[in-house]
Every structure is written in C-alpha cells, then in structure tokens.
Copies of this chain bind each other. A is one copy, B any other.
C-alpha cells in the first residue's frame, strides 16, 4: 500500500481545485434523462474563474440531458485526487452564445464549435454551486468546499 499523505486544509484544497480548473482540458460529465437513464462521457471545457464552458451537439444524449434536466455532475482529476462539481446549467446556441465564453473555449482548444458545421453544437455554461475535493479516506471529512454557490473555505 502507498503511504497516505496528511489531509490538506480547506484552503489548500480550494487552491488545488482552481489550479485544476485552469490546467485540465477535459472533465467527466455525468447527466441523466427524466427516466433516470444515466450518461457519462469526457468533454472539453474552458474556465473563466466563475463558470465552466462546454460545447457538445444539442442533439447528443449529454446535450439533451443538460438542456432538459439542468443538472450535471462534473469530475476533474483522478480517482485518488477527486474534484466533484455540481452546477447550474445555462444553454446557448451558436448564434446567441456570449462571445466571452465561446472565444475562451476556442482559444483553449484550438477548435471553434461556432464554425463547425459537422454537428448542431450548443454551449453549456455551468456555474458551480457545490464543490467537493478529496484524495483518500482521511480527506473525506471537510471535502465540501462550496455549498449553495458559496465557498466555505
């Protein structure tokens, strides 16, 4: 067994979460439809300090679930360095997406869904309302860093 590192403080975990939001390219995105059928796929995102921006076809399972349920569970990092985010979902089409979100996404991923005719791409801008972070069991205590949209650390 690997040695388990000491539990980090809330402040250390918050800094780590913000670093991952800046550094990571993709996140695991879990959604469900009204019947409870679940979908989990990796999607690219950008982060502007307040919200995550994803782009995927409106007609895809994930796009459809995000639009109809307004619910999402996002995972960053590894299974032993977990960041879980729940957020509020706003949906934009190619034509009405605020340029700030779409430009940042295009710059980060060298791909602009507004100019991609291969799918009916929409934008899903997700503002975190709950954020959790833990590595191993010794960090389960204190894992909730944001609740109801407010950082607690």
A14 → chain B closest CB, angstroms = 20
Taking the nearest CB of chain B, how far is it from the CB of A147, in angstroms?
Answer: 16
* Interchain CB contact under 8 A, B84 and A41: yes
Nearest opposing residue in chain B for A1, CB measure = B110
In the complex, A40 has a CB within 8 A of chain B = yes
Known A1-B110, A30-B30, A32-B32; contact A38-B71, beta-carbon cutoff 8 A? yes
* Cross-interface CB contact of A36 among B25, B32, B41, B79, cutoff 8 Å: B32
Alpha-carbon separation in the docked complex, A25 to B136 (Å): 13
Contact-residue size bin, chain A (C-beta under 8 Å from the other chain): 20 to 34
Enumerate 18 A-B pairs (CB-CB under 8 Å) in ascending A order: A1-B110, A25-B79, A28-B79, A30-B30, A30-B38, A30-B40, A32-B32, A33-B36, A34-B35, A34-B36, A36-B69, A38-B69, A38-B71, A39-B73, A41-B82, A42-B75, A42-B79, A42-B80
- Type the 1/0 row for A1-40, where 1 means its CB is closer than 8 Å to any CB of B: 1000000000000000000000001111011111111111
Q: Which residues of A are in contact with B by a Cβ distance under 8 Å? A: 1, 25-28, 30-42, 69, 71-73, 75, 79-80, 82, 84, 110
Name A38's closest neighbour in chain B (CB-CB): B32
